[in-house]
Amino acid sequence: MADRLYIVVPCYNEQEVLQETARRLGDKLDALVRQGLAAPDSRVLFVDDGSRDKTWACIRALHEKDARFSGLKLSRNQGHQNALLAGLGVAAERAGLSISMDADLQDDIDAVDAMLARYREGCDIVYGVRSSRGSDTFFKRMSAQGFYRFMAFLGVNIVYNHADYRLMSRRALEGLARFEEANLFLRGIVPLIGYKTAVVEYERGERFAGESKYPLKKMLSFALNGITSFSIRPIRLITLAGFLIFLASLAFAVYSVVLKLLGHTVQGWSTLMVSIWLLGGLQLLALGIIGEYIGKIYGETKRRPRYLTDELLDKKEDGTNQ
């Protein structure tokens, strides 16, 4: 018998695409049930991350019309990663497996079939990986590739060209729940769970409607969070830079003494100014990087909840609550 599937879809101000997203996911869910790949009581769970438009009203209307569409409303905007984690938490309690994807319809829904095939072969985690970045702008393509390469250089184990389109079994979801850090970067946490994994490639499409919820500022913040959450190599690079500067200063000191003994005098104003600005800049950079890590420690020690749930809409076919 097929396992119960929850398709978890985080939403933030997605009223323009929600109806079309629900239609396509509903059709896909019907096809999966007919093929025996998903249980008849499988669901699409929309997670409203404190939207300011009519996203929650749309989710409620979908749920009242069709019990296959469930809804989870967070108390306020908690960020994409926390919203996704909240939805996965519900799926861990009520389903045998989950598939997470964005609401903008850029992820290829038909890749779900291949993911489920890998799941039936015994994989607990199946990553949806983009086969190319041809649809991206030059800047986004170069910045994304640079991010993945930089993360690899720092020793962070993440799947190249993978976002948050993935399948996770109940066992993997239960493993994810044991990671309690407040600074979430699921692309780095999920590979730490282990178990048998697989990759399914797909072609990412254009956004159906609306605007991207990840402008440059959020992308940079997300990247910084990922780097500082999974690697201390930036601090080690600071230590290395300090050691190299110390060696250079010793060499320059020896050079200055030799010139003095030979009777040569050097004014050195430009060299002095360049050295002061260089060392001052390196010190401020080092303090900033160390401050990022201290800030993360500060946030973790507070043990504040990562999200609060306002309302959950998840009924059985007969209209009773689960």
How far is Cα 193 from Cα 215, in angstroms, rounded to an integer?
Answer: 30
pLDDT tens sequence across 141-173: 676 677 777 777 766 777 777 778 899 999 999
Report yes or no on whether pTM surpasses 0.95.
no
Task: Tell me, yes or no, whether 242 lies in a domain.
Answer: yes
> Which of 210 and 252 is assigned the larger pLDDT?
252
Judge if 206 and 247 occupy the same domain: no
pLDDT tens-digit map of 198-227? 988 888 766 555 555 555 566 666 666 666
Q: Are residues 56 and 153 in the same domain?
A: yes
- Give the other-Cβ count within 10 Å of 279's Cβ: 13
According to DSSP, the residues that pair with 74 across neighbouring strands are 309
Closest CA to 112 of 36, 28, 49, 172: 28
Q: Look at residue 127 and tell me if it is in a domain.
A: yes
Q: Cα(19)–Cα(246) distance, rounded to whole angstroms?
A: 62
Mean pLDDT of 304-319: 73
Q: Strand pairing of 97-100 and 5-11?
A: parallel
Domain count, the chain: 2
Lowest model confidence (mean pLDDT) among 72-81, 111-120, 148-157, 163-172? 148-157
CATH number at residue 162: 3.90.550.10
Residues 234-255 have a mean pLDDT of 71
pLDDT beyond 90 at 296: no
**148 belongs to a structural domain:** yes
User: Are residues 131 and 84 part of one domain?
Assistant: yes
Most confident range, picked from 51-55, 104-108, 275-279 = 51-55
Q: Strand locations in 92-196, DSSP E?
A: 97-100, 125-130, 162-169
Q: What is the pLDDT of residue 9?
A: 93
| Cβ–Cβ < 8 Å for 189, 179 | yes
Same domain, 57 and 188: yes
Are 193 and 127 contained in the same domain? Answer: yes
Examine residue 284 and state whether it is found in any structural domain, yes or no.
yes
What's the angle, vertex CA 215, arms to CA 211 and CA 168, rounded to 5? Answer: 80
- 195 and 261 part of one domain: no
167 belongs to a structural domain: yes
Q: What is the model's pLDDT at position 316? A: 60
* Phi and psi at residue 49, to the nearest 5°: -90, 60
Dihedral pair phi/psi, residue 303, rounded to 5°? 60, 35
